[in-house]
């Protein structure tokens, strides 16, 4: 039977009408969804306006906790927990408010909901609810449940809920990589001692298994936030057969120790805060490790250990064949505790690597006058041009040039005078002139400098002497500069 053209026209017309109706239906859904979202956010704003001050009052303490809790429990709506979550977590709280926020989230049932969702117990939303609410759409589609679980893990970390750390540790083995990363960050925020070793084990896995979802950087960043007592669980990693694991464990320990010692120059690692077994590993094993990165990172920790063995091990590292190991060793010597070893440290001023020499200058400079005496003695006696250059640069960076000028003016001669002569011979005159011109009351310094170096052939010094001879407000200094110029012209004519 032939298919007539009239039938084709009817078919096309029917398909057009169906498509048009479908478009109208979708447009209706969009407008209805927009209306529902607008209505939803208006309701959220109303809740925020009414209950936001209550949450802020409970957290700050000016509103009694039971009164505020009762008010918040009075919220009745189908999305009550979602609204409460917004109210409690929408602003960053101060450290003093964290405990109250955690208690509030527990009493309102939020923590229980987050724990259940983290374990995969996500309540299903109806199709109608999913169409008009994006959050409920996530609950409807099982493939998107990882987003809800990740958000729950993040919230547990935000309120630092310690009792949830086993669930977060379990989430480290979840098939979804995004949830794993969020779990690591939440464990880092909670830093419960029980979670340290599982994180270390996953660090091993990240190093040994290239297919691991968790990166070494993510895990290391989490571990360095734990306490010094938790770091005792690194003893197995410090003795691991893999050199990279030993390096990462040493570096984690270094960062933890440096954080603990920040602002506390006299901080020491002793039996009260550091396990003897770990101390022995740092003193007996790591300075002789085959991996130079391990030896280098061990130096700052060794420097914080009590006893004379620590200093002897640092001296051993100061003779290491690898330059960056020597660099970390000489940097670790900074501190008054190692002042008796200043003469030994000064030998690094002639190191073959310029970074080690530069660090040695700064370390000795930190010892005060004894270190400065060693620097000036070495500066005057050494024939190593590079070592002398770096000491001169450090004199300038540390602002020691004015002190040298003042000392020279007071004594009239001596080591400081010799240092200034050497600086002028090396062309390091810009800082000298800047120090002389800094302040109107430096007439005595300028006069002393003119007598000492006014006849120096250095172009900058000669230019400065000419300016002083014309513009110097101090009459005696101006006359002295003019006499020096006249004497120089006389010698030139002769």
SS3 305: strand
Counting Cα atoms < 13 Å in the Cβ hemisphere of 305 gives 26
Residues 147-183: pLDDT tens digits?
A: 888 899 999 999 999 999 999 999 999 988 999 999 9
Kindly state whether residue 353 falls inside one of the protein's structural domains: yes
Mean predicted confidence (pLDDT) in 261-273: 81
Provide, rounded to the nearest whole percent, the portion of the chain with pLDDT above 70: 88
Kindly state whether residue 347 falls inside one of the protein's structural domains: yes
CA distance 77 to 43: 10
Residues 372-386: pLDDT tens digits?
A: 888 888 888 887 778
> Greater confidence, 474 or 357?
357
Kindly state whether residue 487 falls inside one of the protein's structural domains: no
Number of H helices and E strands in the chain, helices first, is 28, 0
DSSP secondary structure string, 445-485? HHHHHHHHHTT---HHHHHHHHHHHHH-SSHHHHHHHHHHH
| pTM beyond cutoff 0.85 | no
Cβ partners under 8 Å of residue 432, min gap 6: 401, 405, 420, 423, 424, 449, 453, 461
SS3 210: coil
Least confident residue range of 81-85, 104-108, 157-161: 81-85
CA distance 144 to 20: 32
Kindly state whether residue 339 falls inside one of the protein's structural domains: yes
What does the pLDDT read at residue 319? Answer: 93
Mean predicted confidence (pLDDT) in 284-301: 95
pLDDT over threshold 60, residue 138: no
Question: Residue 112 phi/psi, 5° resolution?
Answer: -60, -40
Kindly state whether residue 342 falls inside one of the protein's structural domains: yes
What does the pLDDT read at residue 182? Answer: 95
Show the domain range for 369. 333-389
Least confident residue range of 128-137, 221-230, 254-263: 128-137
CA distance 240 to 335: 32
Q: Name the domain count of the chain.
A: 1
Kindly state whether residue 356 falls inside one of the protein's structural domains: yes
Element (H, E) at 475: helix 475-493
DSSP 240: -
Ramachandran sector of residue 61 (left: φ over 0; alpha: ψ -120 to 50; beta: rest): left
Question: Residue 415 phi/psi, 5° resolution?
Answer: -65, -40
> Greater confidence, 440 or 476?
476
Kindly state whether residue 360 falls inside one of the protein's structural domains: yes
What distance separates the 2 farthest-apart alpha carbons in the chain?
131
| Residue at token pair 């189908």 | 78
Residues 1-55: pLDDT tens digits?
A: 455 566 677 777 788 888 888 888 888 877 766 777 777 777 777 777 888 888 8
Kindly state whether residue 420 falls inside one of the protein's structural domains: no
CA distance 317 to 378: 22
CA 1 to chain centre: 82
CB contact at 8 A, 329 and 320: yes
Mean pLDDT of the chain: 83
Tell me, letter by letter, the H, E, C secondary structure of 44-86.
HHHHHHHHHHHHHHHHHCCCCHHHHHHHHHCCCCCCHHHHHHH
Least confident residue range of 23-37, 209-223, 330-344: 23-37
Closest residue by Cα to residue 217 from 209, 208, 206, 225: 206
What does the pLDDT read at residue 132? Answer: 47
């Amino acid at each position: 039977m032939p298919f007539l053209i009239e039938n084709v026209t009817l078919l096309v017309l029917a398909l057009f009408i169906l498509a048009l109706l479908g478009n109208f239906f979708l447009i209706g859904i969009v407008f209805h969804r927009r209306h529902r979202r607008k209505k939803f956010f208006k309701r959220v704003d109303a809740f925020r306006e009414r209950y936001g001050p209550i949450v802020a009052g409970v957290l700050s303490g000016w509103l009694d906790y039971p009164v505020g809790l009762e008010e918040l429990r009075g919220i009745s709506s189908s999305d009550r927990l979602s609204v409460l979550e917004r109210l409690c977590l929408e602003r960053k709280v101060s450290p003093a408010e964290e405990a109250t926020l955690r208690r509030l989230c527990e009493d309102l049932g939020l923590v229980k909901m987050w724990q259940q969702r983290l374990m995969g117990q996500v309540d299903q939303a109806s199709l109608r609810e999913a169409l008009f609410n994006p959050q409920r759409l996530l609950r409807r589609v099982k493939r998107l449940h990882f987003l809800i679980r990740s958000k729950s893990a993040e919230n547990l970390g935000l309120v630092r809920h310690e009792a949830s750390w086993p669930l977060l540790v379990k989430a480290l083995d979840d098939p979804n990589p995004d949830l794993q990363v969020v779990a690591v960050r939440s464990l880092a925020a909670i830093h419960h001692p029980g979670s340290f070793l599982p994180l270390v084990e996953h660090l091993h896995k990240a190093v040994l298994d290239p297919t691991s979802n968790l990166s070494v950087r993510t895990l290391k960043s989490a571990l360095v936030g734990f306490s010094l007592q938790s770091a005792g669980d690194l003893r197995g990693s410090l003795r691991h057969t893999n050199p990279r694991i030993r390096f990462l464990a040493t570096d984690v320990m270094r960062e933890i120790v440096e954080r603990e010692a920040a602002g506390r120059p006299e901080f020491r690692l002793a039996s009260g805060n550091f396990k003897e077994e770990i101390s022995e590993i740092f003193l007996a094993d790591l300075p002789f490790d085959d991996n130079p990165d391990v030896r280098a990172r061990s130096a700052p920790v060794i420097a914080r250990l009590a006893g004379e063995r620590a200093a002897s091990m640092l001296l051993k590292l100061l003779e290491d064949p690898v330059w960056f190991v020597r660099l970390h060793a000489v940097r670790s010597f900074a501190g008054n505790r190692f002042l008796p070893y200043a003469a030994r440290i000064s030998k690094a001023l002639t190191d073959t690597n310029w970074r080690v020499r530069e660090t040695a200058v700064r370390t000795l400079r930190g010892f005060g006058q004894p270190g400065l005496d060693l620097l000036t003695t070495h500066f005057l006696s050494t024939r190593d041009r590079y070592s002398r250059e770096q000491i001169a640069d450090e004199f300038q960076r540390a602002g020691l040039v004015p002190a040298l000028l003042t000392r020279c003016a007071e004594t009239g001669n001596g080591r400081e005078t010799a240092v200034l002569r050497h600086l002028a011979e090396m062309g390091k005159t810009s800082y000298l002139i800047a120090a002389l011109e800094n302040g109107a009351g430096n007439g005595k310094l300028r006069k002393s400098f003119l007598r000492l170096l006014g006849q120096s052939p250095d172009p900058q010094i000669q230019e400065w002497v000419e300016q002083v001879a014309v513009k110097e407000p101090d009459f005696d200094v101006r006359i002295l500069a003019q006499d020096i110029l006249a004497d120089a012209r006389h010698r030139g004519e002769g």
